[in-house]
């Protein structure tokens, strides 16, 4: 009798133990950070593009519904990205989210001149390393539940001032 009860309940116990809730997709890294364009008049600024890479560990797909990031250069806030989107995310796969954002030219020049005074702007062929950081979250709808995924990523980026304006 005890063996029969055990054999009857074992599949249910295993089924419930294996069926945990959906896991949150994971932020992996930012890559392909590139200067796209520069505008020198009016609302002057530099437009950049990047790809945010994530992994969805769930068997089911999901929908990415919004992004909300602050972008920093050398720990100084340069801009804020906030977009409502609707992008399908495949199940059990990596996916890439293309980002486009603008940094006001005044803030960028202030950061480029840094401790060297205007040396970097006097020699536009000189390379300057900037630490780029993204800090915020993306919102994903998974199995009918909205999940906020924190995103914090930091990486060095080397730039030549001439590349900002000669495209």
Q: What is the CATH number of the domain that holds 114?
A: 2.60.40.10
The tens place of each residue's pLDDT in the chain, 167 residues long, gives 555 554 555 454 544 444 556 677 787 888 888 878 877 777 778 888 888 888 888 888 888 889 898 988 888 898 898 989 888 889 899 988 888 888 887 887 777 666 444 455 566 666 777 788 889 998 988 777 888 888 888 888 776 665 555 54
Tokens describing residue 84: 């409502």
9 in any annotated domain: no
11 in any annotated domain: no
Give me the number of domains the chain comprises. 1
143 in any annotated domain: yes
134 in any annotated domain: yes
135 in any annotated domain: yes
37 in any annotated domain: yes
Distances (CA, A) of 160 to 36, 49, 127: 14, 16, 5
Distances (CA, A) of 117 to 74, 110, 131, 159: 16, 9, 18, 17
CA 66 to CA 84: how far, in whole Å? 4
The whole model's pTM is what? 0.67
64 in any annotated domain: yes
13 in any annotated domain: no
| Residues of the domain holding 104 | 23-165
Tokens describing residue 142: 């998974």
């Amino acid at each position: 009798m005890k063996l029969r009860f055990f054999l009857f309940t074992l599949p249910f116990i295993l089924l419930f133990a294996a069926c945990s809730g959906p896991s949150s997709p994971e932020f992996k890294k930012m890559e392909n950070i590139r200067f796209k364009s520069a505008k020198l008049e009016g609302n002057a600024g530099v437009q950049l593009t990047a790809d945010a890479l994530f992994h969805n560990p769930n068997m089911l797909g999901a929908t990415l519904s919004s992004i909300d990031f602050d972008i920093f250069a050398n720990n100084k806030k340069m801009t804020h990205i906030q977009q409502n989107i609707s992008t399908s995310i495949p199940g059990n796969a990596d996916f890439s989210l293309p980002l486009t954002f603008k940094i006001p030219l005044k803030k960028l020049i202030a950061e480029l001149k840094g401790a060297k005074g205007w040396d970097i702007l006097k020699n536009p062929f000189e390379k300057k390393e900037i630490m780029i950081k993204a800090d915020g979250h993306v919102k994903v709808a998974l199995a009918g539940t909205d999940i906020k995924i924190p995103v914090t990523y930091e990486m060095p980026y080397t730039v030549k001032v001439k590349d900002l304006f000669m495209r």
